Amino acid sequence: MRPAAALIERLGLAVRDLDLLQQALIHSSYLHEHRDLAAGHNERLEFLGDSVVSLAISDALYRRHPDDDEGVLSARRASIVSTAGLARLAARLELGEYLLLGEGESQRGGRRRPALLASAFEALLGALYLDLGYEAASGFVVALAAPELTSDRPLGALKSPKSRLQEYTQRLTGERPQYRVLDAVGPDHDKLFRVAVAVGGKVVGVGRGHSRRVAETEAAAHAIETLRESSGGEPEVSPELAEFLGAEGDDHRGDWVAVEDARGHADESWTEIDLDLDGI
């Protein structure tokens, strides 16, 4: 069975153009290795789907959160249409299992790479738009993103753990958190990184992941938990924690540990420091 035919069963939609859906699943790496088997890759569909997703999510947020101002609505939208957000939606469809990838990309873990999943999800929406129209495409993505669209999480919790931790430490000390790779083990295509983050020279979090960025994000999420617990409800600390670190249960750590920054920021630098791992 072609990947597109199998995916149709998963989507539950009356897809008419199987070839178009198939193209949405073709990564450029596959086309480079199988030019005789594919007419094109999914990047043009990705371009189109980006606008479809953005408009559908914007419209749904506008209607479902009438009391939110423009800034809060923008933050809510960014948390859904970011690389991490779209990869999360793609994971709900197990979209990575249906993608056609080149051998090298597949061996490097492309089926679970957030940027690749997000791009493929946009291509999928582009194909659904062309085949079934805007109403069907937008209705599909709005239904899939229902948990995020109806969430009343505070503004601070919509930001990534790394952003929240940095804003918190800069507010208190004017310094940025410092990240250090403790070790990286495994083959190049499946390496596991372990990263520590320090605030004021003291390690407050350790994270693991299959890229340095993912491990840093996990470490930052751990640090937020550590700082929240250590605040002890002190009046002079709690307001900052409430604003930047959120309350217990706000983190949704799984939303962020696979983050590749959707805004395209360069990797943040990290500083070699003496790390105190006691208690971590």
Provide the annotated active-site residues.
50, 122
Residues in the chain: 280
From residue 280, how far is each of 186, 197, 257, 272 by CA, in Å? 23, 11, 19, 18
The CA-CA-CA angle for residues 136, 51, 69, to 5°, reads 100
Cβ(36)–Cβ(44) below 8 Å? no
Cβ(40)–Cβ(26) below 8 Å? yes
From residue 130, how far is each of 34, 52, 152, 166 by CA, in Å? 25, 10, 33, 42
In three-state secondary structure terms, 194 is: strand
Identity (one letter) of the amino acid at 78? Answer: A
Q: How far is it between the farthest Cα atoms of the chain?
A: 67
CB count within 10 Å of CB 243 equals: 15
DSSP state of 207: E
How far apart CA 180 and CA 274 sit, in angstroms, is: 10
Cα 42–chain centre separation:
20
DSSP 224-241: HHHHHHHHTT-TTTHHHI
170 token code pair: 């800069």
